[in-house]
Chains A and B, each alone.
Chain A
């Protein structure tokens, strides 16, 4: 026979967790004494409760603190850069006419264009690599272990740097950005999948460019993946060809 005392049944899990006040708990107990159907239902929930209490407590296999700390470093860098602060500071418009504002905008554009022509690319004196300055300022490259794309499987270090060509760039639905790093653009393999995740804002490399990618090494063993990754990517250096 089905019992329609939904008000009592709704309290079953709370009763099992001792989260009912005395009056409501007595209400449950008195009802199940007389109601066979609810007594059976409560007994089944008690078994479910017993199973749930045996849920194993798990620990992550790897400690992700190093990756978090590296991400915090790169996250902090732009805010600490006075140059960046100057660029992002809100421009206050005094009481200028439309023509005066237009002239001011044009003057700024001309100055910026001249600046871009006059300022040389930021170059590493040894490798001739162009870097993203804000990240590079806070980045300790010494902690990253150099790996080749074909041999990343033998790597045991958590932080790696790999160099190669970008064969494709994809954006996930949630905005995370993934690109593939290959040794030879003519061949799809071997490759490393590199993922730029949302809290770390890095510029996507362009397809066909040669880059050095710094980040955390891991192996994605999901059924349709089973590939090596740099995840998250913590820095990208553009390598001139």
Chain B
């Protein structure tokens, strides 16, 4: 096995070819590049950190197994996201994600003043938690589309390729997701 270090500047294609040839350092570099991205996608799809870590682990085992058959017919990222989303679907099928209801964070529909000390780290962390929970309140299909668009910054065409649907469906799901998030967070609109 070729042993090589310092893959950070190498183009993705070379990296894949090296990993296909059994270079463990190259595969580790692929893992490092995609670890957080796959984790975020898994977290927002499943709504649970431990399950997302499991998915991360299984996804890269599957990527390693499938890599010899990868023929560059799609982007590496698209291929890995597809594996990740399929794994999330499997995981969602066998477990019902337990979400903390947003009401428990918001208290009531009345506006809450979270901004008493705007630079307070705690307030920032609470805002993030509220937004995170609002995303987790969406259906799994909408969550996946939101995570791919807002976490990964994919275009509509790229999201469509990962999900195996049309760009129009992506647009329609994003419209619904944003409308639902807005309705959910409307009481906090001026504070977020």
Contacts and interface: CB of A to CB of B under 8 A. Distances in A.
A47 interface: yes
Given A61-B49, A69-B24, A52 B150 contact: yes
A13 B31 contact: no
- Best-surrounded residue of A47, A52, A56, A220 (most CB of chain B within 10 A): A52
Contacts of A57: 36, 40, 151
B55 to A, nearest CB: 10
Most buried by A among B57, B150, B151: B57
A17 B181 CA distance: 16
B178 interface: yes
Contacts of A200: 61
Contacts of B31: 65, 68
A75 B155 CA distance: 36
B17 to A, nearest CB: 18
A200 B57 CA distance: 11
B94 to A, nearest CB: 5
Contacts of A67: 57
Contacts, number: 142
Interface of A: 9-14, 16-17, 19, 41, 44-45, 47-65, 67-69, 71-72, 75, 172-174, 197-200, 218, 220-223, 231-232
Interface string B122-152: 0000011101101100000000001101110
B178 A49 contact: yes
Given A13-B171, A17-B149, A45 B179 contact: yes
A51 B61 contact: no
A51 B134 contact: yes
A50 B91 CA distance: 30
B157 to A, nearest CB: 9
Interface in B29-72: 31, 35-36, 39-40, 43-44, 48-50, 52-54, 56-58, 60-62, 64-65
B150 A60 contact: no
A45 B27 CA distance: 40
